[in-house]
């Protein structure tokens, strides 16, 4: 178990349907604690973690050298509403967002664009998990 992750984030990770080989998109990764924990749990899978803040991405990268070197974790600076798959990149099995204003109801207009961008990044059975400070909500994007 990681020491750099809060009990709250650890509980969220524990509740996700993570499995080996999975591709996970974390939206609003901050300093990367949750992304590192998910990467540890999915074996040969991959976590791509995004944040709109350059400083957050810098912090996340600086604390994630082993996971990044192993190819299990990648950080990209991007807002949720601007995220796109890179050319030839495989879709994601799940996406998870914790306290992301565009997805938790605080910024509804940005949320419409963010959900469309995430929908394009998820595979046909992909699910988006959103933390709204209540229990996690999950569902297929239609």
C-alpha of 1 from chain center = 19
Q: Is the pLDDT of residue 3 over 70?
A: no
**If one looks up domain 7-140 in CATH, what number appears?**
3.40.50.150
Q: Is the pLDDT of residue 109 over 80?
A: yes
The mean pLDDT of 84-89, rounded to a whole number, is: 96
Closest CA to 49 of 68, 70, 35, 64: 35
Average pLDDT, the chain: 91
| pTM score | 0.90
Q: Is the pLDDT of residue 25 over 70?
A: yes
The per-residue pLDDT for 138 is 53
Using one digit for the tens of pLDDT, what is the confidence trace for 7-22?
A: 999 999 999 999 999 9
Pairing of strands 122-131, 137-140: antiparallel
As a whole-number percent, the residues of the chain with pLDDT over 90 amount to 80
Pairing of strands 122-131, 46-51: unpaired
C-alpha of 14 from chain center = 14
Provide the residue ranges of all domains of the chain, joining segments of one domain with +: 7-140
The per-residue pLDDT for 142 is 45
The per-residue pLDDT for 18 is 97
């Amino acid at each position: 178990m990681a020491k750099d992750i809060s009990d709250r984030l650890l509980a969220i990770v524990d509740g996700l349907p993570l499995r080996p080989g999975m591709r996970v998109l974390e939206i609003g990764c901050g300093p990367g604690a949750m992304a590192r924990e998910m990467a540890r749990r999915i074996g040969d899978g991959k976590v791509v973690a995004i944040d709109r803040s350059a400083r957050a991405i810098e912090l996340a990268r600086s604390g994630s050298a082993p996971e990044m070197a192993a190819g299990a974790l990648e950080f990209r600076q991007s807002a949720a509403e601007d995220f796109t798959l890179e050319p030839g990149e495989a879709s994601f099995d799940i996406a998870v967002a914790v306290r992301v204003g565009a997805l938790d109801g605080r910024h509804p207009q940005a949320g419409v664009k963010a959900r469309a961008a995430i929908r394009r990044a998820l595979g046909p059975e992909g699910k988006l998990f959103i933390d709204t400070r209540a229990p996690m909500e999950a569902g297929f994007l239609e």
